Chain A
């Protein structure tokens, strides 16, 4: 039935009907697609056609582009290496992935007497989509009612104030506005209102043009109407992730950075552990929070029922000197946008920089994080329409993040039906960041329901104190700090006023910063106008000194991203 409906839909599509696509549906109602098409957008379109059919529980999309060879990383050598090293630890839980989802779950589970190992491939937490998003804690009116993501979005949004209070990350709950300039846009705005109502978004208000201008005086043109949603909030994704990780670590979770899971060990339909390039970690539960690689991890466990298709988004950050809207203020109906995305627009970071975007482009390669001119222009125009006073001359930086959607475009959270103990927390695209507290709670419940008795961790402390930010302190406090620790008197990053002491603190923090980017995320150094031109050489020296390494070993972001090739003499 499902197969017939998919084939019919393909035949009705003039672009896709010329291709021979092999469709198989198994007893679990998972669709397997095979065949060849001309370009990547067609691969995605077909995947979506399958994913949208009622009753489909997952889409595995193996359709290829004619003539293109898929480059799959060969992990056999790493698996061999891991096996040779042997068992390095045994725990109750292994969490794969140190993004906001993995770290949120780690913290939640650290409330219990569970031994937990979190394994992260990169040299720091938050190196994936968690650091490359716009930091918006969505309210839940831009997401389809009835989906899991809608439910968790609204729930998670409400939980963020507690998270912020306990974890000490930067947080602003200033709401958001959707603008409508004509009747057509007003209709779509009303749809968002309706979706919000269905999803349980509280306190939405329809405002007239004058009321909107009062709230956001920098908007260039007065709109016809606007929808104001007060529950929208703003964070820095990496800031939340680091705070979660530090608190989890303080509560006993062990973090293994720079460690890549290359295989999952199962036996008799039950999970046994994971093989990494640094050895074997045995565990009773494996929680798959591997972001864009979650489909590969699930496949390693022997449960392949979904494929993730990377969707890249470009974000632009502007100089603090130019003030735009203080909250997300997007215009409805950007006609050239990817229908799966919310459209992007202008907003302001917690720090006060204008942030525009994101764009949304389907890409075939998970590793391709480059920014293209087209994606930049899309993100730029999404903000220019509202704040033309901010120009390209005010750009400080732009970057890309890669989302991890599946073809049903919803979250996949649950215990594997095939492998007991293997929990998928996959396909977490936007509103993933907003949903994170609710996702953590959902996974906590899965574990609790699945186990007989788990004792509470009596030493659990939910409070994590944020690091000292010298630049925010009054002069007297700054003076006091310097007397206690003279390294506070040495300003290393002059654009953001970051002291040597803060950088040293970051290096020795619970989740140690060992790369330039890791220090950037914890201190703001290199985030300013000169983008690390002044502080870069200083930070390289500080890292080498504090880590007892040679300067030639210091990297920008791990792997082979060395700053220095060699000493000249």
Chain B
């Protein structure tokens, strides 16, 4: 039997969750305090997901970078590829918060959006 211990990262409570699986199938999850925690543990076993936050090169502004964030969680093992992709692109000011920067990142269904609004240089 597979016994996995996860510390939930969804909220500051950081519940210690124990997940039991047999032949790749989850048979029991315990230790969570809410549904999000339970889902987190399940995902950690099947397909760990993470929020991606980074900066993108910004032009036409006296700032060099624009902070961006994924509007959902993406698979942990796609983070490396995602960062490499985002490193190559740039955005031109003006930008409004929540502007779509990359749609459907690596076919995950998750978008990369602007985390703030930036006026153009002037």
Contact = CB atoms under 8 A, between A and B. Distances in A.
A545 to B, nearest CB: 12
B85 interface: no
A245 to B, nearest CB: 36
Interface string A532-569: 00000000000000000000000000000000000011
B87 interface: yes
B5 interface: no
A569 B65 CA distance: 9
Interface in B63-110: 64-65, 87, 90
Contacts of A569: 55-57, 64-65, 87, 90
Interface string A224-262: 000000000000000000000000000000000000000
Interface residues of B, number: 7
Contacts of B90: 569
A569 B55 CA distance: 9
Interface residues of A, number: 2
A568 B55 CA distance: 10
Contacts, number: 9
A212 B55 CA distance: 62
A569 B59 CA distance: 12
A568 B87 CA distance: 8
B28 to A, nearest CB: 44
A460 to B, nearest CB: 46
Nearest to B87: A569
Interface string A25-53: 00000000000000000000000000000
Contacts of A568: 55, 87
Contacts of B55: 568-569
A139 to B, nearest CB: 54
A293 to B, nearest CB: 42
A568 B65 CA distance: 10
Interface string A410-445: 000000000000000000000000000000000000
Nearest to B88: A569
B91 to A, nearest CB: 11
Interface string A309-339: 0000000000000000000000000000000
A533 B56 CA distance: 25
A568 B90 CA distance: 12
A448 B49 CA distance: 81
A568 B57 CA distance: 9
B94 to A, nearest CB: 20
A103 B79 CA distance: 57
A568 B56 CA distance: 10
A569 B63 CA distance: 13
A569 B87 CA distance: 6
B25 to A, nearest CB: 43
B53 to A, nearest CB: 14
8 contacts: A568-B87, A569-B55, A569-B56, A569-B57, A569-B64, A569-B65, A569-B87, A569-B90
Which 8 pairs from chain A and chain B are nearest by CB? A569-B57, A569-B87, A569-B65, A569-B90, A569-B56, A568-B55, A569-B55, A568-B87
Given A568-B87, A569-B56, A569-B64, 6 more contacts: A568-B55, A569-B55, A569-B57, A569-B65, A569-B87, A569-B90
